[in-house]
Structures are given as C-alpha cells and as structure tokens.
Amino acid sequence: MPNANPPAIRFVDVKRFFGDVHAVDGVSLDIQDGEFFTMLGPSGSGKTTCLRLIAGFERPNAGQILLHGQDVSNLPPYERDVNTVFQDYALFPHMTVGDNIAYGLMIRKVAAEERRQRVEAMLEMVRLPGIANRKPSQLSGGQRQRVALARALINQPRVLLLDEPLGALDLKLRQQMQIELKTIQKRVGITFIFVTHDQEEALTMSDRIAVFNQGKIEQIGTPAEVYEHPATAFVAGFVGVSNLIQGEAARKITGSEAVFSIRPEKIHLAEPETPVPANSFGADGRIREVIYLGINTRYVVELDGGGELMVIQQNLNATSMDVLAARGQRVRLVWDCSHIRALGSAEAGKN
C-alpha cells in the first residue's frame, strides 16, 4: 500500500541469522527521504548487516525491507536504486580512477562524452580534479575514499550507504571528511545511511541516530535526544562516557536504588564541605585518577558511598601542574537534579 510519501527505507521486523548468531534480531525502523541517518553500535551489533540488507548483499530470514514503498527483500543488489561506499573502498585496481567512477554509467550505456563530463564534474565535487587517468594504487587513503564516494554518487542513487568509510583515515582527515560528507549530503539532498562505531562521528553528522546492540535497536533519536536522554543503560554507556551509579550507592545519593546516569561535564568539582544547593545532588569522594587532555581534564572520583564517577572540567585557568596535583584529594561532587537520567536496565554498555 504505497502512500503519498513513503519513507526512503522501511524495515518491518527484519531478522537475519548466521547459524546460531542472530545478527539482526527483529529490527523495525523508518528512514525519511533526505535524512542523514546513522547506525551506531559496537562491532557485532548488527549495524553493518542492516546496511548490507539494504544494499542487497544479504537477504533477510524474516521480515520486509521497503525502498520507497517497494518491497526489495528479494531483489539482487543490481536491481536496487542504492549505492554503497565500502569500508575498504573496493576500487577496481585494474581500472583508472575515471573508469572506476564511470563504471555505473558504463553499465547504463551512457555515451562516452557524457560519461567523461560527469566524471570530471564528480571529481570536481570531491575536490580531486584532473586525476581521472591515475590508478587507485597511486592515491592516498583519503583520495581513495573520495573516489569511492564519487563512484557511488555519480549514479544519482536515492539512497547512499556508507559502511564505516572514515575508519581507515587519520584523525585530522577524518574530522575534515565528516564536515565534507555532511556538506555534500546537503547539496545533493539524497538519503545518507552511515554506519559507524564512533559515537563522536555519529553525534557530529547525523540528523538521527539508531543505537544498535546485539542485533536490536536500543534507541532512535536525534543526536541531542540520544545524548541527553538515553533510553537505556546501554545507550547511556555507549554514547558518551559511561557514568552509571546503581544500588546502594545510588540510594545514598538520590534516595532510590534505581540505576541512573549523569554526564561527566554536568558535574561540578567542589571543595569538601561545600553546601549543596537546592535542587542539586551532592556526593563526597576522593580523586583517584587525573587525565590531562589539554582543553579539559578528566577526573575519576571514587565515591565514599561506593561506585565511581567521571568528571570533566574545562581547563579555564588551571595548568597541567595544578590539575595533576589534585590526585588523591578529597572533593565534593555537585550536580543539578534535572541532569540525571533514571534508567531501567542495569546492563551498561562499554565505551
């Protein structure tokens, strides 16, 4: 039943098993047209399998995958209007950069002159003009990444799939490509589905994020929602720094044994005996570890009531000498009541 504006991708209770492993275990989701959608999760959480299901490299054992309202569950990859940027780029080593990018156009029998022009235009867009005659082996990692992007985008797919495409790049290049990808996505206006295990990357680029764990989706939401209002302990732990307090230790602070999470940058580091303001929680402890990171410092504080909390403070006036001297000192942690998130499950994700 195709309605007026079907979502770009719809998963209806999709399952994919490999032997006993439930790689994708009942995933349902809608991805809107033109969205930058990120699938975030640790390795083995099913995010890449979901991407491969959309591309057609895998077929679901159960459930349905709809592409713009059309059921594609049993269509081979070459019948689907999606293109993929592979983790290892998968450039054809025996072809020039130009032939690589024109591959999809060759299959569609686009005339040679038009192919040449469109390849040049694509290389212009990914800011690599004039390299059409080189071989992929002559390019750097970052350049190959852009060629792979150009090769996928030249076909003007309605959905572009990106499988951890920035994983092999160094930090500087990765940050630059994050911004560039987002810019290109806004320009071409097609749906991007991006798979990553890097929560920072997910928060930076996405319109919405789906957090995967053990073949299931834990939460779908905007970056702010996922970060500020984690739905489960796993999300709280995987996105951002894991700061969970539960049981007896939690009761001493909030009066309830329910597990709660608190973001490390929301906590103030105060002198012992500092009065706790109204609508705030306070907890006493001792600084066990200090990690100086330049723009800020991470403190690991052992609470007297049990448990540990990470605290991040900006180095406004402090120098590295000052903060390192804080190790072993007693402190009082203070934070606003509204910043804690009470969570159902006690199972915490690893960061």
Partner 1 sequence: MLRRISTALYLRSWLLLLILLGPPLIWMTVIYLGSLFTLLINSFFHLDEFTGQVVRGFTLQNYFDLFAPANLDIFGRTAGMAAAVTLADTLIAFPLAYYMARFASQRVKSTLYLLVMIPLWSSYLVRVYAWRLILAKEGILSWLFEHLGLGFVLDGLLSLPAIGGPSLAISAIGMFLVFCYVWLPYMILPIQTALERVPRSLLEASADLGARPGYTFRRVILPLAFPGVVAGSIFTFSLTLGDFIIPASMGNSSYFIGQAVISIQGTSGNIPLAAAFTVGPIVIMIVYLLLAKRLGAFDAL
Contacts to partner 1 by CB under 8 A: 55-57, 76-78, 82-84, 86-88, 90-94, 103-104, 107-108, 151-152, 155
In this complex, which beta carbon is closest to partner 1, that of residue 86 or of residue 292? 86
Q: Tokens 């490999």 label which residue?
A: 18
Helices (H), the chain: 47-55, 97-107, 112-125, 141-153, 171-188, 199-205, 223-228, 233-238, 247-254, 320-324
In this complex, which beta carbon is closest to partner 1, that of residue 135 or of residue 266? 135
Q: Residue 94 Cβ, how far from partner 1 at the closest point, in Å?
A: 5
In this complex, which beta carbon is closest to partner 1, that of residue 87 or of residue 254? 87
- Provide the strand spans (E) within the chain: 9-18, 21-31, 36-40, 62-67, 70-71, 82-85, 159-163, 191-196, 208-213, 216-221, 244-245, 260-261, 268-270, 280-292, 296-303, 308-314, 330-336, 341-342
Q: Going by DSSP bridges, is the β-strand pair 159-163/82-85 parallel, antiparallel, or unpaired?
A: parallel
Q: Residue 186 Cβ, how far from partner 1 at the closest point, in Å?
A: 24
In this complex, which beta carbon is closest to partner 1, that of residue 114 or of residue 347? 114
In this complex, which beta carbon is closest to partner 1, that of residue 110 or of residue 270? 110
Q: Going by DSSP bridges, is the β-strand pair 268-270/341-342 parallel, antiparallel, or unpaired?
A: unpaired
In this complex, which beta carbon is closest to partner 1, that of residue 82 or of residue 122? 82
Separation between Cα atoms, residue 2 and residue 84, nearest integer Å: 25
Q: Residue 227 Cβ, how far from partner 1 at the closest point, in Å?
A: 33
Torsion region of 37: left, alpha or beta (phi above 0 gives left; psi -120 to 50 gives alpha): beta
Question: Please, are residues 147 and 126 in contact by the beta-carbon 8 Å criterion?
Answer: yes
Q: Residue 192 Cβ, how far from partner 1 at the closest point, in Å?
A: 15
Q: Tokens 């940058």 label which residue?
A: 265
Q: Residue 121 Cβ, how far from partner 1 at the closest point, in Å?
A: 18
Cα of first residue to Cα of last residue in the chain, in angstroms, is 42
The pair phi, psi for residue 199, each rounded to 5°, is -65, -30
Q: Residue 103 Cβ, how far from partner 1 at the closest point, in Å?
A: 5
CA–centroid distance for 233 within its chain: 17
Q: Residue 184 Cβ, how far from partner 1 at the closest point, in Å?
A: 18
Look at the chain and count its residues.
Answer: 351
Q: Residue 76 Cβ, how far from partner 1 at the closest point, in Å?
A: 7
In this complex, which beta carbon is closest to partner 1, that of residue 169 or of residue 235? 169
In this complex, which beta carbon is closest to partner 1, that of residue 107 or of residue 179? 107
